[in-house]
Amino acid sequence: MEFDTFKEEQAIIDQAEVFLADGQKQDCLPAYQTLLNEYKKLLKTSRRLVRMSDRSEQKLKITEDALSKANKRMEQELNVGREIQMSMLPSTFPPFPEHDEFSIYAQLHPAREVGGDLYDFFFTAENWLCFSVGDVSGKGVPAALFMTVTKAMVKSRASDDLSPASIITHANEELSTDNVSSMFITFFLCLLNIKTGEMLYTNAGHNPPYIKRRDGSIETLNKRHGPVMGAMEGIAYKEDKNRLYQGDMIFLFTDGVTEAMDEAENLFGEASLLDLLKSGDNQTPDELVNATFKAVKNFENGTPQSDDITVLALKYLKPLQESIIHSMDLILKNRLYEIDRMNNRFNEFAGKHAIPLKISRTMGMIFDELLNNIISYAFLDESEHEIEVKVELSGEDMVITLTDDGIPFNPFQKEAPDTKLSIEDREIGGLGILLVRQMMDKVSYQRKIDKNVISLVKTITH
């Protein structure tokens, strides 16, 4: 039996009905009847309301439980998202202690809900440092994942491509194809030659970075080379050149800096950032990055951060070197007696540019081995061919290139043994190439359409 909150009221109605049934009260009957009917209606409504309220309370309890679970899951998701994001960032500083040509520092402070910012830096080819910042449009785990994919695409393409425009174009193509989410990423990519200070960069919809020159002046890298990444396929991005000189600092950041808010919803703004950059303090990347975060935190004054904040600063430290290149070029005939001419010319060149005797002697052996190989094996006929030898001296590096138009022949590959040679002869043949490999810092072979090109690099330490 249902519990009745209105027991008393019911009792009154019961009594009234008994009273009205008594024929002796006939003249007050209509008034009382009306009153009784109204009262009965009221009681019915009240009972219904109580029943509804009970049900609501139950529903509320179920909803609260569900919310609590969802909340816990979201917290986990936030943690996962943040873990994904932070684990992808290079976080060891200094990252390249052996390199004194530059100094780099970066930091990312994630918002409570992962905002998908990223920064990255790595060496691609010898002497080329690739560095970047990016900002994904969405939030949470999907943004973190999108950021991860972008980072991987860019890095993968950059391993074999020295043009930022090309890297971004290809990475964008991969990102945009089958991108069913409506997410996109703003991105700034820079390639820096750490030996010369030359810079190439592409800006894909990102807020322009600054360069603070040694004399204190600030440059904004204003050019934009294409839209945000991930939004549309078939975009050909552009790139621009610049140059860092000793003492120059390049400063990359995401809009989490300039759009940081205080309680009154004022924005930190570009002006404040520029003021910070212009101030004479903060000479190292570490100092500048830390100062930026400090300034933003102060400005926010306790207001929770709504977006990720990322800052990356790189200072170029290398003094300008005479990048004068001394070189010599010689065309030889494919005859063994030409090896002498090569050595004479090289010794002349070595004398002129103070190349140590030990190196010239070594090169004598190297030229003998390689030219012997080329002359003996690269040509199938007896007719005259040309072998071009180029030697370039730049700073401490000597690069030698040998080019011939013979059959595809790579002396560094294990060749099939010439069975006409005795065992000793065969072994010594391979030995020559082994010596070349060991005496040079780098050796490589390339087939360029119809030419064999052998490159050798030796760093000369005086």
Beta bridge partners of 309: 109
Q: Which is nearer to another protein, 191 or 355 (CB)?
A: 355
Output phi, psi for 256, to 5 deg.
Answer: -60, -25
For another protein, the closer of residues 339 and 400 by Cβ is 339
Chain center to CA of 243:
21
Tokens of 275: 């003021």
Least distance between another protein and beta carbon 410 (Å): 18
Whose Cβ is closer to another protein: residue 340's or residue 348's? 340
Q: How near is the Cβ of 366 to another protein at its closest, in Å? A: 8
Binding site for another protein (CB under 8 A): 336-337, 339-340, 343, 358, 361-362, 364-365, 368-369, 371-372, 424-425, 428-429, 431-432, 434-435, 438-439
* Minimum CB distance to another protein smaller for 191 or for 366: 366
Q: Is 453 helix (H, G, I), strand (E, B) or coil?
A: strand
Residue placing its CB nearer to another protein in the complex, 55 or 358 = 358
Burial 130-148 (b: 16+ CB within 10 A, else e): bbbbbbbbbbbbbbbbbbb
Distance in Å, CB of 353 to another protein, minimum: 18
HSE (side-chain half, CA atoms, 13 Å) at 391? 20
Q: Give the bridge partners for 425, in sequence order.
A: none
Nearer to another protein (CB atom), residue 222 or residue 419: 419
Nearer to another protein, 4 or 348 (CB): 348
CB of 395 to another protein, least distance (A): 23
> What's phi and psi for 203, nearest 5 deg?
-110, 115
The pair phi, psi for residue 437, each rounded to 5°, is -55, -45
Minimum distance of another protein from residue 363's CB (angstroms): 9
Smallest separation (angstroms) from another protein to the CB of 86: 47
Burial category of 303 from C-beta neighbours within 10 Å (exposed 0-12, middle 13-18, buried 19 and up): middle
Shortest distance (Å) from residue 362 CB to another protein = 5
Give the residues across from 455 on adjacent strands.
Answer: 401, 444
On the CB side of 455, CA atoms within 13 Å amount to 11
Q: How far is the CB of 364 from another protein (least distance, A)?
A: 5
Nearer to another protein, 256 or 429 (CB): 429
Nearest distance, CB of residue 439 and another protein, angstroms? 7
- Per the DSSP assignment, residues forming a β-bridge with 329 are 390
Shortest spacing between CB 369 and another protein, in angstroms: 5
Instruction: Assess contact for 118 and 133: CB atoms under 8 A.
Output: yes
d(CA 401, CA 437): 14
Nearer to another protein, 100 or 427 (CB): 427
SS3 445: strand
| Residue 51 structure tokens | 């029943």
Strand 451-459 with 249-253, pairing = unpaired
Burial 255-284 (b: 16+ CB within 10 A, else e): bbbbebbeeeeeebeeebbeebbeeeebee
Does the N-terminal peptide bond of residue 94 adopt cis geometry, omega within 30 degrees of 0? yes
| Kind plus residue range of the DSSP H or E element containing 400 | strand 397-404
* Residue with smaller CB distance to another protein, 238 or 385: 385
